[in-house]
Amino acid sequence: MDLVLRGDRVLIDGEVRPGSVAVDGGMIVAVGSREADYGGVDVVDIPAPAALLPGFVDTHVHVNDPGTSWEGFATATAAAAAAGITTVVDMPLDSDPVTTSVEALRVKEAAAAGHCHVDVRYWAGVVPGNGGELASLAEAGVLGFKCFLSESGNPNFAHLSPAQFVEAAQRVADLDSILLVHAESHAVLATTPGPAGGRYDTFLQSRPDEAEVDAVTLAVDAARSTGARVHIVHVSSAQTLGIIAEAKRSGLAVTAETCPHYLTFTAETVPEGATEFAACPPIRSSANREQLWAGLANATIDMVVSDHSPCAPELKGGSDFGVAFGGISSLQLGPRAVWTQSRGRGFGLSDLSRWMSANPAAMAGLDDRGSIAVGRRADLCVFDPDVSDVVRGADLLHRHGLTPYDGTTLRGGVLRTWVAGRSVYHRAEVTV
């Protein structure tokens, strides 16, 4: 065997227990007792209380490369590896060109070539007028398609009208693919006063719950009428949970995600002028946050992904929410942030792995990863649930250090990460 990992805490079949994992040719070829002798060339003993987990899968990452100075494949994937994330799926906007054609996809792939520390896959975009490109994009290897129901903030990535959205859903259904939707209603937002100045409440009021409710209703109706698989990205409003739950009960192929910042922060505690907290849709109330946690507990929400959406710091508008770019930088911190919040609510490592490994992998059709089992890729990480430290944005591996997590104490830490059996991250001060 190329690699054998053994420890007292290995996540196998949804249970943390003693075990060993044998890796050959980048794949898991055996899973057995802790004492099993596989004769590995490289034998790694996992120190307690750390646990061997499947690598995390983040299906919502804005790398913004090529064409911007906001983030890059080298920095984003280094940050991912340090978080135990072994797969990222890149979003199709905020790069130049946007990924709405095969030609643009090839430009993005060329920008990534030779710079990635973890596995990188791609979503393609659906915008008005590119419906004829979807089949060729699917053939070119994208995992599915992303669209907006409100302005994206990028003039090269226009939103779909309700009629265009239904048409796109039908095309995606015919391809047996999946349609990811930014579910905020353009019609609702167009009638809402915009944010201004340093008060967060003006930003929150500019993107009301009703915008998400209207858009999620449209998405569910389109799934019903077309048979498309529809995935609601970054759910922030708990008022949508009943709609999503009913869609699932009726057998529709609807899934949903939320993000660490919606599970961590609350509107009441955003400081004056702290535009690093600006995200679209927005961070809402503490009561709303607890309802999102309940949605995770009952599986209305399937997964948690970062929506890592960085920008150049000057685009955060100083202290003015009226001009701030809406996006939160968090890729390196996601699993730790979710663990910090989930642990105190009675959840365990198996829950964390289901939300951030197995379910995102399944949604994206990546059935060769997301769990520790024979025949899966050896995408693995060693996660210590008991360590804690204070986040310092300047120490993160993202291109820019601006993040609302700066100064926050988070629990958990990744000691080592492997992608297809290859070590891609090793915390310097720890022997594993």
Separation between Cα atoms, residue 13 and residue 373, nearest integer Å? 8
Contacts 24+ apart (CB under 8 A), 189-193: 189/150, 189/151
Residue 78 φ/ψ, nearest 5 degrees: -65, -40
pLDDT at 428: 72
User: What's the mean per-residue pLDDT of the chain?
Assistant: 97
pLDDT at 216: 98
> Which residues are bridge partners to 417 per DSSP?
381, 425
| Nearest CA-CA partner of 222 in 182, 252, 251, 248 | 252
Contact 229, 177 (CB under 8 A): yes
Provide the residue type at 246 as one letter: E
400: which 2 tokens?
């820019």
Contact 244, 232 (CB under 8 A): yes
Provide the residue type at 403 as one letter: T
Give 309-340 pLDDT, tens digit per residue. 999 999 998 999 999 999 999 999 999 999 99
Give 56-104 pLDDT, tens digit per residue. 999 999 999 999 999 999 999 999 999 999 999 999 999 999 999 999 9
pLDDT at 238: 98
Which of 19-23, 35-39, 113-117, 388-392 is the least confident region? Answer: 35-39
Whether pLDDT at 431 is above 80? no
| 76 C-beta neighbours (distance < 10 Å), count | 33
DSSP label at residue 308: B
| 394 C-beta neighbours (distance < 10 Å), count | 8
Rounded to a whole number of angstroms, the CA Rg of the chain reads 21
Q: Which domains does the chain have, with CATH numbers?
A: 3-51+377-426 (2.30.40.10), 56-367 (3.20.20.140)
Contact 92, 98 (CB under 8 A): yes
Give 205-218 pLDDT, tens digit per residue. 999 999 999 999 99
pLDDT at 226: 98
* pTM listed for this prediction: 0.97
If pLDDT is split at 50, 70 and 90, which confidence band does 430 have?
low
Give 126-163 pLDDT, tens digit per residue. 999 999 999 999 999 999 999 999 999 999 999 999 99
Concatenating the DSSP letter of every residue in 365-388 gives T-TT-SS--TTSB--EEEEEEEEE
pLDDT at 84: 98
Separation between Cα atoms, residue 63 and residue 58, nearest integer Å? 12
DSSP label at residue 277: G
375: which 2 tokens?
């025949």
> Which residues are bridge partners to 46 per DSSP?
7
Rounded alpha-carbon distances, angstroms, from residue 286 to 65, 238, 325, 416: 35, 11, 23, 34
Helices assigned H by DSSP within 162-259: 162-174, 186-189, 200-206, 209-226, 241-249
Separation between Cα atoms, residue 352 and residue 349, nearest integer Å? 5
| 345 C-beta neighbours (distance < 10 Å), count | 13
> What number is the average pLDDT over the span 267-277?
97
pLDDT at 367: 97
Give 299-316 pLDDT, tens digit per residue. 999 999 999 999 999 999
